[in-house]
Amino acid sequence: MPRGAMPGESCSRHEAWKGAQMIGKKVEAAFNQQINHEAGSAYLYLSASAYFQALGLEGMAHWMRVQAGEERKHAFKFYDEIVDRSGRVELLALGKPKMEWKSPLDAFKDAYKHEVFITGKINDLMRLAEKEGDYAAAEFLHWFVNEQVEEEQQVVRIVQMLERIGDSGGALVMLDEELGERKGE
């Protein structure tokens, strides 16, 4: 207990030490929300993987499963950042993901729309970090800004190929084989 403090008062010396790079409440809450978005992304891509599995498109199922793994890693990055900055992780509820699409093209178009949504969330986080003067958070978020450019770009490429393929079953099988070569889990 600090000198002069009454019994029951908090030890401010400990809290001051802990607070050197301690995450602020607003950024902490927003990072916890982002864990939920990233985990929700993993859930959505795993559901899309199951959809492709049911269609017998093993390569696309594999691609979506690898993407689910990437999203899980993103969720863990936010989790670890909160812990590293003496914050408190709070896991929020996940909704049931969509499980049916009209076609492979429809599923990949949905993936693109989802990535645009996530990019918006990362940009919101960056704005919040800057507003709060949290430069450690802004630095951490730079990795995600670049990652989103890559993620959107790779899904756009697949959407473009599927649009070109149209109703050609043979070309779809070839694309399925190509996507099955994606490295990852």
Which residues would be at the binding site for ligand FEO (CB under 6 A)? 38, 41, 71, 74, 115, 118, 151
Q: Which residue number, 62 or 74, has a Cβ lying nearer to ligand FEO?
A: 74
Are the CB atoms for 89 and 32 separated by under 8 Å?
Answer: yes
Q: Hey, what are 45's tokens?
A: 């891509």
Nearer to ligand FEO among residue 118 and residue 141 (C-beta): 118
Q: C-beta of 16: minimal distance to ligand FEO in Å?
A: 35
Q: Cα–Cα distance between 39 and 24 in angstroms, integer?
A: 22
Between the alpha carbon of residue 92 and those of residues 18, 75, 95, 154, 156, the distances in Å are 25, 12, 10, 29, 30
Among residues 74 and 85, whose Cβ is nearest to ligand FEO? 74
Residue (28 or 71) nearer to ligand FEO, CB: 71
Rounded least distance, CB 50 to ligand FEO, Å: 18
Spatial distance between the Cα atoms of 125 and 55, rounded to a whole number of angstroms: 37
Cβ 155 to ligand FEO shortest distance, Å: 9
Nearest residue relative to ligand FEO (C-beta): 74
Kindly report the number of other CB atoms within 10 A of residue 98's CB atom. Answer: 14
Smallest gap from Cβ 183 to ligand FEO, in A, equals 17
26 closest CA partner among 107, 91, 82, 83: 82
Q: Choose between 112 and 180: whose C-beta lies nearer to ligand FEO.
A: 112
Closest approach of ligand FEO to the CB of residue 147, in Å: 7
